[in-house]
Amino acid sequence: MLVTYVLGDCPGCKQQNSFGNVNVCGDHVLRGCMRCRYSQSILLPAVRKKVIYLDQFFFSGAFRGGDDRFVRAAERIQKLAADQLLVAPFSSIHEDETHLWPRFGELYPFIKSASRGAEFKQSSEVDRFQLHRAFMRWQQNGPADQQPELSDALKPGHVSNWDSYFRIEVGGYHGDAELLARLKLESVEGLVDLFPGWRESQNTFDQDVDAEYNAAAKGYMDAYLEFMVGVGGGDYMALFDSPVMSMVVQGLLAQLPEETPPDERLRQCARFLDSQHFKSCAHQWLRAHMYATLKAQVKAGSYANRERALGRLSGVFFDVSHISTYAPYVDAFIMDQPMAELVSHRGVRLSERYGTRVFSLNNWPELFAWFDELENSMTDEHRQGLRDAYPRRVEMSLPLVKSMSEQSTRPDPLRVRYRAHLGDAMRQIVLFGSTLDQAIKAVKVPEVDIAAFNNLLNSELEHLEAYNCARHCLPMGKTQDWIDKGRPH
Ligand SMILES: [Zn+2]
């Protein structure tokens, strides 16, 4: 057997230094011998890792800003993850924006060690699981309330298994490109400009919540109808281009008996989208209540200063989307102060409803108290399990986080300015076989910056891999082909 950690002589064949740990598999350590077939299985105690969601705000604080408060939290998270007490799964947000930072390459090892190979499912998938379950209950006249099931958002093994020696690499994530595109269209400015109207509004909170539900239901229906019009009109590309959202209604229709006439199916779908079952889906419930609460805050006098409101709410569409999708599934969620205030407001009360601990700079010491609590919960049995499973475990390299934050600076201005040019040039080269010079000429970078852009492009091409190609909208297969051909440019 392939022995990873040699522990000593084999009890079977007595061969010296040939026996040891082969791997950790879920709930046991497999031990074996390099020479004979002797093996042992050591049972490990049950684990139930806490799940924590780190959002963009956390990474900017720790890795871009080098803020000591975040750096210390990152160190604790790494240590608790290595101790099998905590997992911080990877999510699209970690890839989508952080790659703009010049030191992304150094942030990545932290994400790898804190996530232990665990990834959240895409938000559209989580949404679909919730809606399908609710639709089934609605058809069967079951109760409207549903508890989120961990498997909607995360493979349960990531929470209940001991880490194997061979971790699945994270980062093959494509990002939620569609969601991103949609969110970028919704400008914060547009939202903040609605505030004066909100202040005049005579609607009650419940009416505002209902308006949010109706808008969401209409969104699903419209996306589906648009898709059907495209297909009906002979636009077969509609089949490929249609947004994931149009698939929601399609999925629901498919759950209905085939003998139901098409217009009756659609009517049932519309009735479901107006039902308590739909409104009780965690994602729908949270989204509607978060936006209605934002309205209530505005009516009560918050965000009166336009400029400050723009700053405080800069990531609001992302934040609402990520919190309403993932918060019900995690034990703790680190978010920024405006969002923490919003979800603790009586209109949402996230912690009471879903048991999620909310941490922000408003209650930072409580986060460390929670870390202590986790660490103190470790039993002697668990400690023995750690020794059995990871005999030569090196303490997590805490200086790593430290050095990262010290080196981190602001985003490279050149990279920010030429982000789109860079993507275009990369696609010219990887997809269409252009040379470096041809690509630079094609994207029209001003003369003064050509030399610097050349260096940037060269380094980006050198570091292009299948796991990070999504950031330049490059497909994995084509990118791998280009790498296999020896990166011609
Ligand atoms: Zn042996």
What secondary structure does DSSP assign to 233-299, as a single string?
TT-TTHHHH--HHHHHHHHHHHTS-TTS-HHHHHHHHHHHTTSHHHHTSHHHHHHHHHHHHHHHHHH
What distance in angstroms lies between residue 39's CA and the mean position of ligand 1's atoms?
8
Angle at 178 between CA 327 and CA 175, to 5 degrees: 60
Q: Evaluate whether residue 10 is within a structural domain.
A: yes
Distance in Å, CA 28 to ligand 1 centroid: 20
Q: Is residue 424 part of a domain?
A: yes
The encoded tokens of residue 475 equal 């497909």
DSSP element (H, E) containing 22: strand 19-25
Chain segment 154-174, per-residue pLDDT in tens = 999 999 999 988 765 555 444
pLDDT of residue 404: 44
Question: Does residue 173 form part of some domain?
Answer: no
Helices (H), ranges, 33-122: 56-59, 68-82, 92-96, 104-115
pTM, rounded to two decimals: 0.76
For residues 62 and 98, the answer to whether their CB atoms sit within 8 Å is no
CA–centroid distance, 26 to ligand 1, in Å, is 24
Distance 391 CA to ligand 1 centre (A): 20
Q: How many CB atoms lie within 10 A of CB 340?
A: 20
**C-alpha 7 to ligand 1 mean position (Å):** 12
Tell me if 184 is assigned to some domain: no
Residue 385 tokens, joined = 């399990």
Cα–Cα dist 227/305, whole Å: 41
- Has residue 322 been placed in a domain? no
d(CA 74, CA 402): 9
In a domain, 227, yes or no: no
**Cα 274 to averaged position of ligand 1 atoms, centre (Å):** 66
Count of domains forming the chain: 2
What are the residue ranges in the chain where pLDDT is below 50? 172-175, 395-409
- Cα separation, 128 vs 255, in Å, equals 13
β partners of residue 119:
90
Residue 97: the pLDDT is: 55
Q: Which domain holds residue 457?
A: 413-484
Is the backbone of residue 301 left (phi > 0), alpha (psi -120 to 50) or beta? left
Query: What does the pLDDT read at residue 234?
Result: 64
What is residue 392's predicted lDDT score, i.e. its pLDDT?
Answer: 74
Could you give the CA distance from residue 390 to residue 392 in angstroms, rounded to a whole number? Answer: 6
Distance 5 CA to ligand 1 centre (A): 15
Distance set, CA 85 to CA 113, 114, 115, 150, 432 (Å): 13, 11, 12, 17, 47
- pLDDT score, position 408: 42
**Residue 358 pLDDT:** 97
pLDDT of residue 96: 56
Taking the centre of ligand 1 as the mean of its atom positions, its distance from the CA of residue 46, in whole angstroms, is: 29
SS3 assignment, position 154 = coil
> 381: CA distance to ligand 1 center in Å?
28
Planar angle of CA 296, 299, 304, nearest 5 degrees? 120
What pLDDT was estimated at residue 405?
43
Q: What is the DSSP string of 293-354?
A: HHHHHHHTTTT-SHHHHHHHTTTHHHHHHHHHHHGGG-SEEE--HHHHHHHHSTTT-HHHHH
**CA of residue 3 to ligand 1 center, whole Å:** 11
Ligand 1: centre distance to CA 13 (Å): 4
**Within a domain: residue 445?**
yes
Is 412:102 a contact under the CB 8 Å cutoff? yes
11: CA distance to ligand 1 center in Å? 7
Q: 12 C-alpha vs ligand 1 centroid, how far in Å?
A: 5
CA 31 to ligand 1 center in whole angstroms: 11
Could you tell me the distance, in angstroms and rounded to a whole number, from the CA of residue 20 to the centre of ligand 1? 10
Q: How far apart are CA 41 and CA 25, in angstroms?
A: 10
How far is Cα 442 from Cα 421, in angstroms, rounded to an integer? Answer: 9
Please provide the size of the chain in residues.
489
- 142 alpha carbon to ligand 1 midpoint, in Å? 58
Taking the CB of residue 390, how many other CB atoms lie within 10 A of it? 19
Residue 211 lies in a domain: no
Per DSSP, the three-state class of 32 is: strand
Report residue 84 as tokens.
């099998």
Cβ neighbours for 436, distance < 8 A, ≥ 6 positions apart: 429, 454, 457, 458, 461, 489
Predicted local confidence at residue 185, as pLDDT: 54
Counts for the chain of helices (H) and strands (E), in that order: 27, 8
Measured in Å, residue 15 CA sits from the centre of ligand 1 at 6
For residue 396, the model assigns a pLDDT of 42
pLDDT at 398: 43
- How far, in Å, is the centroid of ligand 1 from the Cα of 362? 58
CA 40 – ligand 1 centroid, Å = 11
Tell me how far the alpha carbon of residue 164 lies from the centroid of ligand 1, in angstroms: 23
Distance 21 CA to ligand 1 centre (A): 13
The structure tokens 């950790």 sit at 24
Copy the structure tokens of residue 322. 């990520």
Compute the distance from residue 390 Cα to the ligand 1 centre, in Å. 21
pLDDT per residue as tens digits for the range 224-234 = 888 777 766 66
Tell me how far the alpha carbon of residue 366 lies from the centroid of ligand 1, in angstroms: 51
